[in-house]
A = this chain, B = another copy of it.
Amino acid sequence: MMTFMEYPQPIEHLIEQLRKLPSIGYKSAERLAFSLIDWEGKELNDLSEALNNIKRSLHFCEECGAMLHQENCRFCTESRDSSCLCVVAGAKDIYLFEQTGEFKGLYHVLGSLLSPLAQKTPPQERIDSLKERIEKREVKEVILAMDATLEGDATALYIKKELALIDLPISRLALGIPMGSSLDYIDGGTLARAFSGRRVLG
């Protein structure tokens, strides 16, 4: 006969909290909790402090929506090329593009993607401020840099419609074969887009 036996309350409580994290189920949360029991008191304090700290000392740029600590926003400085504005879904995405070193323009964080299934749209105030910024900063091109997913496509269409009255080129990221990948592992949809988006050499 299998009987279910609960761990002492502080452990069950910690497991319950850890389960809220993405892709952490009961077994993983259990594993994390038991490893945390073995941490030094100081280490646990540090982690707990870092958690508290994140809400207290992390802010978001009112202009572009990037994450800030204490400094001014480094993505809104005068040195950035304000003729090009890149719209991203989340504040984290900015770092992905910065790491490529390819883009020197402005960013605009939407906050969330449009999700037809969850009936969710990006916050209206972020769309309003996008329009304002395009006019104020004299932007010449808008790049919609969303995921190549259902939500990403829906969001791009939605933003394009919202910006319909503004006469500007609006582009999306190229679809194609990821660098270093073999054709064997590429799906038909991607291959078709890679074909239609082919570029003449030289």
- Chain A residues near B (Cβ < 8 Å): 1-5, 7-11, 13-14, 17-18, 20-24, 31-37, 39, 41, 43-55, 57-58, 67-69, 90, 92, 95, 98-101
Q: Which of B21, B24, B35, B69 has a CB less than 8 Å from the CB of A10?
A: B69
B8 and A35 contacting across the interface, CB-CB below 8 Å: no
A53 to B99, CA, bound (A): 39
Classify the interface of chain A: helix, strand, loop or mixed: helix
Contacts of A14 in B (CB 8 A): 50-51, 53-54
* Chain B residue at minimum C-beta to C-beta distance from A97: B5
Tally of this chain's copies: 2
B residues less than 8 Å from A11 (CB atoms) = 54, 58, 67
Q: A32 to B17: give the CA distance in the assembly, Å.
A: 13
A126 to chain B, nearest CB (A): 15
Instruction: Out of B24, B39, B54, name the residue touching A20 (CB < 8 Å).
Output: B39
Supposing A52-B48, A58-B37 touch, asked if A69 and B8 sit within 8 A by C-beta, the answer is yes
